[in-house]
């Protein structure tokens, strides 16, 4: 069947056979199907959706388009955690070592960030000398020693997804639930794991702005997991305001280390202990998530997980003294305290505005070629529900250049705070677990 026939069939709401869809996708990967033909197909999918079988074939074809990570010889129970991303989301840095204390290994691919603050790879790059495992063999060694297996996504992992995403990004077809779900799950399925936990962010600073939209995406991803016999749990977590207090790469690693000592923000602690509780259910160590959460809280406050993170950093040739003395991350030349200009209660702290303010300081990327400054960022002293008086510090900006972008960042951060005369409840972190 010709490429145009596939496009027309999908345009007319007709279901493609497994062979038709596979041949079309393989043709695109090889260059026989053009970008403009695939663009037309993606728009047809955006408008008409995919059947369950089409969804399975798309995900499977993307997964099998490159190398698979089998992690042979690893005996630990393996969890792959994925977040849809948000402002201040440093979850993997603290979660992986916490899981390790329960004999659970982390097996995941991570990437660099675009927009807001950096991705997991950028955050670890704040540690001098740090280099992620560059091969499956190095990842296996890391899991065996520290329990932590995180590596950068290579060009040989799900290359079809990379090619399709680049096209979706410029053709107005990013916001398609089946395309988002298959993209995420193809990468999860390419790595061996015993359980998958997906943290879907909801709110102002997230890709999914409403709980209803997030639940729709979550349901599709869970269905894909079932198609491939994978245990999948979904956490829907709030992102109306940033997660934790730190925004910026070195600052976020600092906060993650402090959290592993039991000194972190309560919202961040709640998220990582909840995900750990789910992982313990998947492993079979506990019967209920609540029981697992209580075990995770106790372990977190013991400080034991810091050792696992230190070992992982040392295994990756990083300066482990940064984990033992996290204050070494606090290296920006200047600090500026944003003060409250009125008294009341913080009713809003717009996550997207805070994230953009951090990016303007150099903590994130406006384009993929931008160079991140690992020292800069924002530390929030007050969040939604907190009472403030005139002159109280709302947030501290850490910066290296007092230029126009700093002034823009300061103005944007100031506008992110909304102060009310009414008492406001602290927003929920965990909105739903599926």
**Residue 152 reports pLDDT greater than 90:** no
pLDDT band at 150 (very low <50, low <70, confident <90, very high): very high
Rounded average pLDDT over 315-327? 97
Q: Which residues are catalytic?
A: 82, 161, 168, 183, 187
pLDDT computed for residue 86 by the predictor: 87
Higher pLDDT residue, 83 or 114? 83
226-273 pLDDT, tens digit each: 999 999 999 999 999 999 999 999 999 999 999 999 999 999 999 999
pLDDT band at 205 (very low <50, low <70, confident <90, very high): confident
pLDDT computed for residue 169 by the predictor: 84
31-44 pLDDT, tens digit each: 999 999 999 999 99
Q: Fold for 332-420, please state it.
A: Aldehyde Oxidoreductase; domain 3 (3.90.1170)
**Residue 114 reports pLDDT greater than 60:** no
Quote the percentage of the chain above a pLDDT of 70.
98
pLDDT computed for residue 117 by the predictor: 61
What are the boundaries of each domain within the chain? 3-48, 77-324, 332-420
pLDDT computed for residue 151 by the predictor: 87
42-71 pLDDT, tens digit each: 999 999 999 999 999 999 999 999 999 999
pLDDT computed for residue 76 by the predictor: 97
CATH number of the 3-48 domain: 1.20.970.10
pLDDT computed for residue 113 by the predictor: 59
Residue 248's Cβ-count burial label (10 Å; 0-12, 13-18, 19+) is buried
Higher pLDDT residue, 105 or 370? 105
Rounded average pLDDT over 6-26? 97
Rounded average pLDDT over 294-323? 96
**Residue 336 reports pLDDT greater than 60:** yes
Q: What's the CATH class of domain 77-324?
A: alpha beta
Lowest model confidence (mean pLDDT) among 103-117, 216-230, 264-278: 103-117
Rounded average pLDDT over 86-105? 96
pLDDT computed for residue 45 by the predictor: 98
pLDDT band at 118 (very low <50, low <70, confident <90, very high): low
pLDDT computed for residue 396 by the predictor: 98
**Residue 219 reports pLDDT greater than 90:** yes
pLDDT band at 122 (very low <50, low <70, confident <90, very high): confident
Quote the percentage of the chain above a pLDDT of 90.
88
């Amino acid at each position: 069947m010709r490429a145009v026939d596939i496009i027309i069939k999908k345009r007319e709401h007709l279901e493609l056979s497994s062979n038709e869809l596979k041949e079309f996708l393989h043709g695109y990967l090889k260059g026989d199907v053009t970008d403009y033909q695939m663009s037309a197909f993606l728009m047809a999918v955006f408008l008409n959706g995919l059947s369950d079988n089409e969804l399975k074939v798309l995900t499977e074809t993307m997964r099998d388009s490159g190398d698979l990570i089998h992690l042979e010889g690893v005996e630990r129970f393996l969890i792959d955690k994925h977040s849809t991303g948000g402002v201040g989301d440093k979850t993997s840095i603290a979660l992986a070592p916490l899981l390790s204390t329960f004999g659970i290994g982390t097996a995941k691919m991570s990437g660099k960030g675009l927009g807001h603050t950096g991705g997991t790879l950028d955050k670890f790059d704040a540690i001098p000398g740090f280099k992620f495992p560059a091969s499956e063999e190095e990842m296996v060694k890391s899991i065996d020693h520290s329990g932590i297996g995180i590596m950068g996504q290579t060009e040989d992992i799900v290359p079809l997804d990379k090619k399709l995403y680049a096209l979706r990004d410029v053709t107005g077809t990013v916001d398609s639930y089946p395309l988002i779900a298959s993209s995420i799950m193809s990468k999860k399925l390419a790595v061996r794991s015993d359980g998958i936990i997906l943290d879907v962010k909801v709110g102002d600073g997230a890709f999914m702005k409403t709980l209803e939209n997030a639940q729709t995406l979550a349901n599709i991803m869970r269905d894909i997991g079932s198609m491939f016999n994978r245990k999948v749990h979904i956490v829907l977590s709030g992102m109306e305001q940033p997660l934790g207090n730190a925004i910026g790469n070195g600052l976020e690693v600092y906060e993650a280390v402090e959290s592993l000592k039991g000194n972190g923000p309560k919202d961040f602690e709640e998220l990582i202990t909840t995900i750990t509780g789910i992982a313990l259910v998947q492993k079979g160590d506990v019967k209920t998530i609540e029981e697992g959460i209580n075990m995770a809280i106790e372990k977190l406050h013991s400080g034991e997980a810091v050792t696992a993170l230190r070992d992982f950093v040392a295994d990756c040739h990083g300066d482990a003294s940064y984990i033992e003395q996290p204050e070494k991350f606090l290296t920006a030349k200047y600090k500026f305290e944003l003060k409250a200009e009125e008294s009341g209660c913080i009713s809003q702290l717009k996550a997207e505005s805070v994230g953009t303010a951090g990016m303007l300081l150099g903590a994130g990327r406006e384009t993929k070629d931008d160079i991140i400054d690992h020292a800069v960022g924002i530390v929030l002293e007050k969040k939604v529900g907190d009472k403030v008086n005139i002159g109280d510090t709302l947030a501290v900006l850490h910066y290296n250049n007092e230029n126009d972008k700093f002034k823009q960042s300061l103005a944007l951060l100031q506008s992110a705070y909304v102060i009310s005369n009414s008492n406001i409840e602290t927003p929920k972190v965990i909105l739903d677990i599926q």
